[in-house]
Amino acid sequence: MKNKGFIATSLIYSFFLVFLALLAVILSSYVFNDKLLSTFNKSILNRINREIDSTSDSPSYVQDVLDILHITPNATKPNFNNLAISDEGVFIADDNFGPSYYYRGDVTDNYVVFGNWGTGNTRPLPMYWRIIRVNGDGSLRLIYEGYKLRDELNKDPISTVAWSTSNTSTGYYNAFSGKLNEFYANKILGTKYEAAISDSGFCSTKSSTVTNASNCTKKEDKIICNNEEKSIDDFSDYDKIVTFSPSPVGISPSLSCTKDNLYSVSSTEGNGLLQYPIGLISSNEIVMAGGKYTTQENTASENFSNIDFYLFKNYNYWTMSIYSKKTNNGAGTSLMSIKFLNNANAAKPNNQDDSTLYAFGYSEDGNLVENALDNATYGLYPVINLKEEYVSTFEGDGTISNPFIGKLDRGA
């Protein structure tokens, strides 16, 4: 009897051990399958999101760039009548290629290392840049910040030069463009960095099809001038940020322009007037980043100075945007008929005999101002565009201590 009892107990104990083993297998299988299912679902979700991106306004390759830069854009539109003195993040506006994502305010996570200031046997002096925006084609627009010497960042402009040699000259290649071309030829052309540059172009309006923007009004999302609907691209850089300021339309900066006003090397998407794919920032980009133009119509009590956003450099510098005052007798308009030509001796534009021609600049006091084209006290901070394929090699978080760095500057 005792043996039978012992056998029965042993069988029960054995069945119990088998049960525990089976339970352990089942639980392990459940955990594994749950993780697998979770990963599978996440993969499907990511794929669906990418498919949504590819059929929405922003292509998937633009989303890839946003992911690399850790960008989550704001869904709202900022008020351009206000200065941006804090980190407001990234906003969306259309350019010539689609939705563009631009930084606004006192941002600190848009530093990029690209290129070497030193040449020949000179030891490497890494060049620092700030991201202005992700272009609609996925390329990355950068403005020069300086080069690093030991532990200091030299933030001087690459050159101090007149916008043009005469304030009635219309030669685009006359002064500042020559210095930009020289910079490109010395630092980028023929180096390993050249292949990373995109010819995405630079907007700078030569003229406007609107006869007098001050007569325009805004109805809902439409701009009406003399009972005719107009596109924002029909306005000059001046009108987008100056004439609109005291008018009912309000400040309306834009990142887009007509093909004729998109300065590029190739004539496929732009006007094909550049020798190299390098330019300057536009007045519209400065306003969208957080600056503001001071018009004579504004009250003296309002503050228009901004030294607390990423485009303030504590140095006078030029933009690529033309500005023109009205004629002395008041008969002229605020619009431009400037022709940007390769010829430095181009004739003075029509209907400008009583006007002095100006270009926009940003001052060391933090103001977006107009300056005569022969003012030689303003500096140049080049703007370039990096290809999306190169941006995909970035590492870092964009801070000055850990800037975004691509494979060419990591030695990879």
Q: Tell me the pLDDT of the chain (412 aa) as tens digits.
A: 555 555 566 666 666 676 667 776 666 655 445 543 443 343 334 433 433 343 346 778 899 999 999 999 999 999 888 899 999 999 999 999 999 999 999 999 999 999 999 865 567 899 999 999 999 999 999 999 999 987 889 999 999 998 876 544 443 434 788 899 999 999 999 999 999 999 999 998 765 556 556 667 766 556 777 788 877 777 777 777 765 544 444 567 889 988 888 999 999 999 898 899 999 999 999 999 999 876 544 444 456 799 999 999 999 999 988 775 433 333 333 333 232 323 333 333 333 333 456 788 999 999 998 887 778 899 999 999 999 999 999 999 999 999 999 999 987 4
Give 136: exposed, middle or buried? Use CB within 10 Å, 0-12, 13-18, 19+.
buried
Return d(Cα 20, Cα 18) in angstroms, integer.
Answer: 5
Domain coordinates of the chain in residue numbers? Answer: 1-55, 61-412
85-93: long-range contacts, CB 8 A cutoff, minimum separation 24: 85/290, 85/306, 85/308, 85/309, 86/308, 88/290, 91/288, 93/254, 93/255, 93/288
Looking at residue 261, its pLDDT comes to 84
Q: Under a CB-based contact definition with an 8 Å cutoff, are residues 218 and 224 in contact?
A: yes
Looking at residue 294, its pLDDT comes to 64
Structure tokens at 117: 């200031």
Q: Under a CB-based contact definition with an 8 Å cutoff, are residues 358 and 375 in contact?
A: no
Return d(Cα 171, Cα 166) in angstroms, integer.
Answer: 9
Question: Chain centroid to CA 16: how far?
Answer: 68
Return d(Cα 111, Cα 269) in angstroms, integer.
Answer: 28
Give 106: exposed, middle or buried? Use CB within 10 Å, 0-12, 13-18, 19+.
middle
Looking at residue 195, its pLDDT comes to 97
Which residues are CB-neighbours of 43 under 8 A, at least 6 positions away? Answer: none
Indicate the residue type of 268: T
Strand partners, 153: 148
Looking at residue 375, its pLDDT comes to 85
Question: Chain centroid to CA 164: how far?
Answer: 25
Q: Which helix (H) or strand (E) holds 133?
A: strand 126-134
Return d(Cα 385, Cα 144) in angstroms, integer.
Answer: 11
Looking at residue 52, its pLDDT comes to 38
Looking at residue 336, its pLDDT comes to 31
Structure tokens at 145: 């910040």
Other Cβ atoms closer than 10 A to 225: 19
Looking at residue 250, its pLDDT comes to 54
**Nearest of 58, 392, 412 to residue 404 by alpha carbon:** 392
Return d(Cα 354, Cα 97) in angstroms, integer.
Answer: 38
